[in-house]
Amino acid sequence: MLQTYYTVKGYGEHEIEIQKSRFIAYIQRAETEEEAQEFIQKIKKQNWNATHNCSAYIIGENDQIQKANDDGEPSGTAGVPILEVLKKKKLKDTVVVITRYFGGIKLGAGGLIRSYGKATSEGLNATGIVERKLMRIMHTTIDYTWLGKIENELRSSVYQVKEIHYLDKVEIETYVEEAQTGAFEEWMVEMTSGQGEIRSGEAVYLEVAV
């Protein structure tokens, strides 16, 4: 699993007009090629009367799946510019469909490349990009007498509290970066004078808007 990577926040759409042609960006997160293809087909069905529904996606930890489709536009003027924007922004697991409704003015190859690139960039900005960081959920169990001190220290630290369970004892769940779990344990042992019980939980991705 990657320690950190960028992707889109979720579904988004954004429309721009260039030389009377409408360019509508449809964006979605997709973790498999099947998800990406399903999304493309859904948008094509939704915009069945559009002049073109051009698309691109990039999927996988090592960007191993990359596809671009011009959907009738001159070769290399639509799908590839969309894909290039995804690569430039270092996005993973992202699919984009740019729907074009022709407005009567031909844009030429250079104009098309710029238009599809611009529609993609603006669509991504409107949708939002997130950084996904791999975090380990650390479980700290303490007596209630330690709660005030530990909670205050955690809230003012670099660590993020996920949840606090008030049971026979207090269990605090904290998001900790994988590389910092050892330092976190040491810090917690020191703060509780060794009276806290600390165990490592599951690894999850935490998303932060960028």
Domain boundaries in the chain?
4-127, 131-209
pTM: 0.88
Residue range 96-119, pLDDT digits in tens: 999 999 999 999 999 999 999 999
Instruction: Give domain 131-209's CATH architecture.
Output: 2-Layer Sandwich (3.30)
90: left (phi over 0), alpha (psi -120 to 50) or beta: left
Q: Which helix (H) or strand (E) holds 14?
A: strand 12-18
pLDDT tens-digit profile of 166-208? 999 999 999 999 889 999 999 999 999 999 999 999 999 999 9
**How far is the first Cα of the chain from the last one, in angstroms, to the nearest whole number?**
21
Instruction: Calculate ∠ Cα 155-158-164, nearest 5°.
Output: 40
Fold of the domain built from segment(s) 4-127:
Ribosomal Protein S5; domain 2 (3.30.230)
Residue 192 DSSP symbol: T
